[in-house]
Amino acid sequence: MLNRNFMTKSGIILSAAAASVVSNAYAEGTDETIKAVLIGCGGRGTGAAANFLKNPNTKIIAVGDVFPDQTEKALKNYDLPQEAGFTGFDAYRKAIDYAVANGAVYAILTTPPGFRPIHYQYAVEKGLNCFLEKPCCVDSYGYRMLMEVNKLAEEKNLKVGVGMQRRHQTVYLDGLRDILENKKYGDILFTTVYWNMGGIPVRGTGEEPTEMQRQIRNRYYYVWLCGDNILEQHVHNLDIGNIVLGNWDPLYHPVKCNGMGGRAPRYIPKPTPRVGEIFAYHAVEFEYEDGRRMFSQSRQVPGTWNCVNEFVHGTKGSAPVQRKKLRGEKLPDPYDVEHTDLINAIKENKKYHEGWAGATASMIGIMGRMATYSGQVVTWDQAVNSGKTYMIYENHDSLTLESTPPVLPNADGLYDAPIPGVTKDV
């Protein structure tokens, strides 16, 4: 169960002033342009900003990133004055403050997911509608933080979108309608979900001047930044499998899971420095309260079977969740649609809050990782209330690119990794 006193006990206290509804220029009808601040100016950030800007009357007015070069590129990309760009671990605060002062109503939060709960909290306190890239957190502390901020966003009538684009993709929406409304496959027995792929390239030059810079440039290999591949990539599949079993309930979740995983392929034919601490593969069986299962695989191993998909298994047959695209069929880009839907909700002042589903899907991935890292059965309540953290939450804003990250390599350039049966990850 979620500890409702968590935010007070943890020292993350949302003030009464923060809980009040903040008016904005768009809501007051004085400006028809949806103005946004972009936090995280790397590849995913510029991609999300491009999707946002495909909508009419939209504008990026401020940017923030931990790296100066990324901030400078973004200033040029969006033709912004120097004063609209901010750098450092506290850049999100400065950029959001500047943006709010200049009429922004929309925050695009696309840094590595470990930072997401911190940035989301501040954006909501400042009265911004938010687009959160997935996943939304990397550990239980971050999940609990998300849930409290979700409540605050709801109280303030803010709109929240999450970058799980399958929820806005025509072939998935049609497939889910057939499964859940039309009962095409009868009663649902279980789901199978996969994100099996080749390896992720090691990013960065390897010559970064500090370990902190090296890890952030190469975020996909560090749990405190990405949460491992079962979370970073596989969250999409877990979300769809969960929708099928829970019929769109944003708080529906498994009650326990068991799994196995490892990282041996990252050491074959020989140990490779800078491959981080994450596993190469995870296989998890998630069990729900009614006894049904979601069977999950996520893998990053070159030369193996690739499959990124979700399947429904019912009393009348089995099939992929998404329907087949018809020959010649032109469909909207779901990466565009997820922003359009959020923008329309702001304009029409409709209730719109994907933050709950984003938190749930992220926590399912975290629970699965706990099971594979430890080799133990893990319950939802154990996972949600775990005291183990990966992200740096305390004194976050005082960090610099010279600060020491949570994990460090040994003399051989290798990182310690979880050992099932030994590691205690709950």
pLDDT, residue 159, reads 98
Is pLDDT larger for residue 353 or for residue 264? Answer: 353
Rg (CA), the chain: 21
Side by side, the strands of the sheet bearing 293-300 are 317-320, 307-314, 188-197, 293-300, 281-287, 256-262, 378-379
| pLDDT at 278 exceeding the cut of 80 | yes
pLDDT, residue 181, reads 98
The pLDDT tens digits for 285-328 are: 999 999 999 999 999 988 899 999 999 999 999 999 999 999 99
| pLDDT at 364 exceeding the cut of 50 | yes
| pLDDT at 21 exceeding the cut of 80 | no
Write out the two tokens for 166: 């399958």
Average pLDDT, the chain: 91
Is pLDDT larger for residue 103 or for residue 31? Answer: 103
In this structure, of 206-215, 240-249, 353-362, the range with the lowest mean pLDDT score is 206-215
| pLDDT at 259 exceeding the cut of 70 | yes
Question: Do residues 295 and 315 make contact, with C-beta atoms less than 8 angstroms apart?
Answer: no
Same fold, 6-166+336-356 and 188-331+362-398: no
| pLDDT at 361 exceeding the cut of 50 | yes
pLDDT, residue 31, reads 63
**352-377: average pLDDT:** 98
CB atoms within 10 A of CB 281: 21
Is pLDDT larger for residue 114 or for residue 25? Answer: 114
pLDDT, residue 14, reads 40
pLDDT, residue 345, reads 98
Structure confidence at residue 46 as a pLDDT band (50, 70, 90): very high
Structure confidence at residue 413 as a pLDDT band (50, 70, 90): confident
Question: Percent of the chain beyond pLDDT 90?
Answer: 82
Report how far residue 119's alpha carbon sits from residue 295's, in angstroms, rounded to the nearest whole number. 32
SS (H, E, C) 148-189: HHHHHHHHCCCCEEECCHHHHCHHHHHHHHHHHCCCCCCCEE
**356-365: average pLDDT:** 98
Structure confidence at residue 22 as a pLDDT band (50, 70, 90): very low
CATH of domain 6-166+336-356: 3.40.50.720
Structure confidence at residue 426 as a pLDDT band (50, 70, 90): confident
pLDDT, residue 76, reads 98
pLDDT, residue 6, reads 34
Structure confidence at residue 406 as a pLDDT band (50, 70, 90): very high
Report how far residue 224's alpha carbon sits from residue 234's, in angstroms, rounded to the nearest whole number. 17
| pLDDT at 9 exceeding the cut of 50 | no
The pLDDT tens digits for 325-359 are: 999 999 999 999 999 999 999 999 999 999 999 99
Structure confidence at residue 264 as a pLDDT band (50, 70, 90): confident
Closest residue by Cα to residue 310 from 410, 403, 256, 241: 241
**261-281: average pLDDT:** 76
Map out the domains of the chain as residue ranges. Answer: 6-166+336-356, 188-331+362-398
The pLDDT tens digits for 83-132 are: 999 999 999 999 999 999 999 999 999 999 999 999 999 999 999 999 99
pLDDT, residue 17, reads 34
pLDDT, residue 302, reads 86
CATH of domain 188-331+362-398: 3.30.360.10
- Cα distances from 48 to residues 107, 254, 279, 330, in angstroms, run 11, 30, 28, 21
**166-184: average pLDDT:** 98
Phi, psi of 389 (to 5 degrees): -120, 155
| pLDDT at 3 exceeding the cut of 50 | no
At 50 the three-state DSSP class reads: helix
Structure confidence at residue 267 as a pLDDT band (50, 70, 90): low
